Amino acid sequence: MTNNEIDEKIEKIIDYFNAADIQSQSTALDAYYNLLSKETLTNDQKKQVLPFIKKVLDDPDSPLRTNVFQIATLTGIKNFNLIEDIFPIIFKELQYKNRFRSDIVINLLLNLRNSNYPLIQDAIKQLIKKTPLWFDKSYLLPIIEKFWHESTSQSFQFMNNYINEIKEELAKYPETFQQLKNFILHKIDDHNEYLNEIAKQKEIENRLREDEKRKREELKRKEEELRLKQEEERIKMKKKLEEYVKTISDQPVKQPLDSKQNNTQLPPTIEGIPKSEPKNIEIEDSSAFTTFTNLGLKRKKLDEEED
């Protein structure tokens, strides 16, 4: 359904609200409740119906009161801000012990029990305190039991939010509420066990975090020790190098020998072989030695004699 179609339908519903007869108004309320349940209405569209809702709520004797409660609470479940100003009237209905309307109000509180709306939180605290007074009729006990069962079955958030009020008021519940009281006490035990498990888990997590912290600190300490050791070694090596360089620089520089000295220098000796001095050999008659040149001249002379 389009927004235009919804607008047209709401206009017709409002026309029925303005009719004088209760039957037309009741029909219009049923039509609007079906529309609100099945379609997504804008806040402006919902606000168009609120004046009639408030008008009926102001009349405690109106035969349309139950129909209006259904619409008001459904509107509040979808957007509590729209019914915030009429919620005190809705919640007060619990005091009148009407089974149908009490069930409608409890359904609203169930849907919003974990919300942060101050009005809802105050209402639940009042409900915990006034349960023996408002639900002392046998036909009302299943309604309040449903509230407690559904509020505590899915998570511990409800108990977390209201555990102090529950413990304080539960001791005041009369014997007629013993079955409900036992159920709530059991849920308190479950909640305490849950808190203990959470505490143990946190203790384990804290211990693990401390262990990790110690390991990181130990690793950091070892890294720092290694860094200092490496730095110490570096300083030692630098010092040794500086001392070596200083020792080398303090030694006298050897002068190189000139070429003449190099020529007369004795060759190196091999260990075990005595050194020998060079000897000057004197040649008395050079003719005793025949050279290649002399051989050539003699051959030529012989050839000439033969000729």
Q: Evaluate whether residue 304 is within a structural domain.
A: no
Q: Evaluate whether residue 302 is within a structural domain.
A: no
Q: How confident is the model at residue 70 (pLDDT cuts 50, 70, 90)?
A: very high
Q: Evaluate whether residue 269 is within a structural domain.
A: no
User: Above 70 in pLDDT, residue 168?
Assistant: yes
Q: Which of 112, 113, 197, 117 is nearest to 162 (CA)?
A: 113
CA–CA separation, 123 and 113 (whole Å): 10
CA distances from 143 to 259, 287, 295 (A): 127, 155, 152
More confident residue, 42 or 242: 42
Computed over every residue of the chain, the mean pLDDT equals 85
Token couple for 237: 């090596």
Q: Evaluate whether residue 247 is within a structural domain.
A: no
Q: Evaluate whether residue 270 is within a structural domain.
A: no
Q: Which of 162, 98, 165 is nearest to 135 (CA)?
A: 98
CA distances from 24 to 16, 27, 39 (A): 6, 5, 22
Q: Which residue matches tokens 């020529």? A: 263
Q: Evaluate whether residue 187 is within a structural domain.
A: no
Q: Evaluate whether residue 286 is within a structural domain.
A: no
Q: What is the mean pLDDT of residues 23-49?
A: 94
Q: Is the dihedral of CA 201, 204, 207, 211 positive or negative?
A: negative
> 68 and 47 in contact (C-beta within 8 Å)?
no
User: Above 70 in pLDDT, residue 223?
Assistant: yes
Rg for the chain, CA atoms, rounded: 57
Counting runs of H as helices and runs of E as strands, what totals does the chain give? 13, 0
User: Above 90 in pLDDT, residue 158?
Assistant: yes
Q: What is the mean pLDDT of residues 83-109?
A: 95
Tell me how many domains the chain contains.
Answer: 1
Q: Dump pLDDT digits (tens) for 100-118.
A: 999 999 999 999 999 999 9
CATH number for the domain including 41? Answer: 1.25.10.10
| Residue 12 structural domain | 3-165
DSSP state of 252: P
Q: Evaluate whether residue 186 is within a structural domain.
A: no
Overall pTM > 0.85: no
CA distances from 86 to 55, 141, 195, 209 (A): 11, 26, 37, 51
Q: What pLDDT score does 155 carry?
A: 79
Q: Dump pLDDT digits (tens) for 245-294.
A: 888 877 665 655 555 555 555 555 545 555 555 555 554 555 544 554 55
